[in-house]
Amino acid sequence: MKIAMIGTGYVGLVSGVCFSDCGFSVCCLDIDEEKIADLKQGKVPIYEPGLDEILKRNKEAGRLSFTTEPMAAIKDADAVFMAVGTPSRPGGGEADLSFLFAAVRSITPHLEDGVVVVTKSTVVVSTNQRIYDIISDLRPELKFSVASNPEFLREGAAIKDFMEPDRVVIGVHDEQGEALLRQLYAPLNLPDERFVVTSLENAELIKYASNAFLAMKVTFINEVANLCEMVGGDVLEVSRAIGLDNRIGRKFLNAGPGMGGSCFPKDTRAYAATGVKYRAPQRLIETVIQVNETRKINMADRILDVFEKPINKTAAILGIAFKPDTDDVREAPSLTIIPRLIENGMKVRAYDPEAMEVGKTVLDDVSWCESAVEAARGADILVVLTEWGEFAAIDMSEVASAMAGDIIFDTRNILPAEKVSGAGLKLMRVGAA
Ligand code: UGA
């Protein structure tokens, strides 16, 4: 079986590498020549634990290759996976499908009879039908099938999520698509109930509704945290206890500085826009989007409010990435909070174990530091924005001696309170008075 993976962004690269590790022959295609040149040399453009090793192993075994030539990728392919980005349209919530459709047009001349074109990109309802129509118009004689196979990979845990998924969803409109995808996922040995075969439209909706629900869950606990702060509660205890109800579940109930990343913000916007378009407004999700935007601003204001005059006070920011184990800063709380502190006259020193190179390209006027303790040097307040493991284990007495002030704001509730107070520092948390 041969797979062509179109697009070597996060989803395409992880999926392509993992399929090759399952024993299939995979060729990844991208129009970015520099990226492909790097990948050919085994250089992985993103930070994802374990990805570089698996890539190297499969490249050496001759199962994984990279190209910028559509012909080379698609020749003899049984499945062509579309994993092209679907960003938000500038100024609007809708997903911009132009890159995806351009990619479909560019591969169509090379498709061969019997091929299944599978969409992995996150796409709004009816996109797969449009892909079918584009290919049929350009190649009326071609015998092909389309399928939808949304991904549920979390950055930082993407390999495990691919190899041991909660479920694999495939949307198909004929048996050929179903049979091929069953074969491709057979190496994962999933029990039958975890393999969901459904229509193209359902598969498209399942992806968006899943992300929308999780985003709503996170936003819900963030609002509970606000209430805890006002009434003297503690969100850690409230969330633990409500999560023990199996119907609710413990996961995605950690209050924080607001959700970010390349998926939840973009996908909730696209989902809400789809609701409006089809006259079934998704009001809960519209509210989630607003609440989340406001939350990031409120976090910055909580920092500013610590000081009577924030001008020339220094904040040490620990964590730029939107979550740990990634260097991704897209729509991260740091990108709202840091500029707002700087606009209000504060100085910012920052450290992140992986995301500083990317952070430097999108954040101005920040003093970048080589370690957490270095960032704390001379700071009036230290703010944990990302729950990297090394921050939870930080030596608080070293932090205390480095800082000029004594306020720690833990927006992820990961620091042990007794260690903070033991070092003579004052702890502010989310969801606690
Ligand atoms: C998310 C989904 O979890 C994946 O299933 C999906 O495949 C992916 O989007 C996608 O559509 O590609 P990801 O963006 O990697 O994955 O990040 P999450 O781990 O879901 O976190 C999203 C945001 O919610 C982060 O900002 C995180 O800090 C925040 N979050 C998450 C919380 O604040 N509290 C929680 O309890 C959980």
**Contact criterion met (CB below 8 Å) for 65 and 17:** no
Q: Which residue lies with its CA nearest to atom 1 of ligand 1?
A: 154
Specify the pLDDT at position 4. Answer: 98
Distance 312 CA to ligand 1 centre (A): 34
Ligand 1 atom closest to the CA of 387, numbered from 1: 28
- The set of catalytic residues is 263
Q: Is the dihedral of CA 64, 159, 321, 298 positive or negative?
A: positive
Q: Which of 119, 155, 267, 268 to mutate to test the pocket of ligand 1 (most atoms within 8 A of CB)?
A: 155
Q: Which residue lies with its CA nearest to atom 9 of ligand 1?
A: 263
Q: Which of 331, 313, 311 is nearest to 323 (CA)?
A: 331
Q: Which residue lies with its CA nearest to atom 31 of ligand 1?
A: 252
Burial of 272 (0-12, 13-18, 19+ CB in 10 A): buried
Specify the pLDDT at position 345. Answer: 98
**Span 66-111, pLDDT tens digits:** 999 999 999 999 999 999 999 888 877 888 999 999 999 999 999 9
Q: Does domain 2-197 sit in CATH 3.40.50.300?
A: no
Question: Is residue 48 in contact with ligand 1, taking CB distance under 6 Å?
Answer: no
* pLDDT score of 354 more than 90: yes
Ligand 1 atom closest to the CA of 10, numbered from 1: 12
Q: Which residue lies with its CA nearest to atom 3 of ligand 1?
A: 154
The CATH superfamily holding the domain 199-433 is NAD(P)-binding Rossmann-like Domain (3.40.50.720)
Q: Which residue lies with its CA nearest to atom 24 of ligand 1?
A: 259
* Average pLDDT along the chain: 96
The mean pLDDT value for 309-332 works out to 97
Specify the pLDDT at position 317. Answer: 98
List Cα–Cα distances, 107 to 15, 65, 289, in angstroms.
19, 17, 36
Distance 154 CA to ligand 1 centre (A): 6
**Span 164-182, pLDDT tens digits:** 999 999 999 999 999 999 9
pLDDT-based confidence at residue 227 (cuts at 50, 70, 90): very high
Specify the pLDDT at position 29. Answer: 97
> Residue 406 CB: number of other CB atoms within 10 A?
16
Question: Is residue 211 in contact with ligand 1, taking CB distance under 6 Å?
Answer: yes
The mean pLDDT value for 398-406 works out to 98
Domain ranges of the chain: 2-197, 199-433
Question: Is residue 127 in contact with ligand 1, taking CB distance under 6 Å?
Answer: no
Specify the pLDDT at position 88. Answer: 85
Same fold: 2-197 with 199-433: yes
Burial of 45 (0-12, 13-18, 19+ CB in 10 A): middle
Question: Is residue 155 in contact with ligand 1, taking CB distance under 6 Å?
Answer: yes
CA distance 430 to 417: 13
Rg (alpha carbons) of the chain, rounded to whole number: 23
* pLDDT score of 213 more than 80: yes
The mean pLDDT value for 338-356 works out to 98
